Amino acid sequence: MEIDNVYKCEVCGNIVELVHVGGGELVCCGQPMKLQEEKSGEEGTEKHKPVITKDEKGCVIVKVGSVDHPMEEDHYIEWIEASTGEKTIRKYLSPKDKPELSLCDCVDGCKCGDDCSCGSNIVSARAYCNKHGLWKSD
């Protein structure tokens, strides 16, 4: 068990993230919760692996997949998370939202011009697909 590990109950669908390691077993609906492995290199990568990139203004943006992941009622990215190593930012998404997370600190769009460094301290990202599980950036 490690900090940030994500566990899912295969009976009711509850999903939890570990924020402090105690050592006990996580149980839900009478059975152990299942650790969600962080996938990165296997099949499905092109639609699931978070990519840390920059938008047209230079703000860091996390996209999910090199091909946009579907955002339909029964299959979508539930959340995207970006981390500096010390600090984590998570955006919850709904079907029809764009599967991306902007790290710009400006309100109503980036006003930093060419010198934007918003989000430049992001070192990793994760995304959770309701059908295909947890994915991690390079």
Number of residues written out for the chain: 138
Largest CA distance in the chain: 54
Measured between alpha carbons, how far is 33 from 78 in angstroms, rounded to an integer?
A: 19
Position 134 contacts Fe ion (CB under 5 A): no
70 burial level (CB within 10 Å; 0-12, 13-18, 19+): middle
Which lies closer to Fe ion via its Cβ, residue 91 or residue 132?
Answer: 132
Which lies closer to Fe ion via its Cβ, residue 9 or residue 134?
Answer: 134
Position 133 contacts Fe ion (CB under 5 A): no
Which residue in the set 59, 122, 125, 129 belongs to the binding site for Fe ion (CB under 5 A)? 129
Which lies closer to Fe ion via its Cβ, residue 90 or residue 131?
Answer: 131
- Site of interaction with Fe ion (CB under 5 A): 129, 131-132
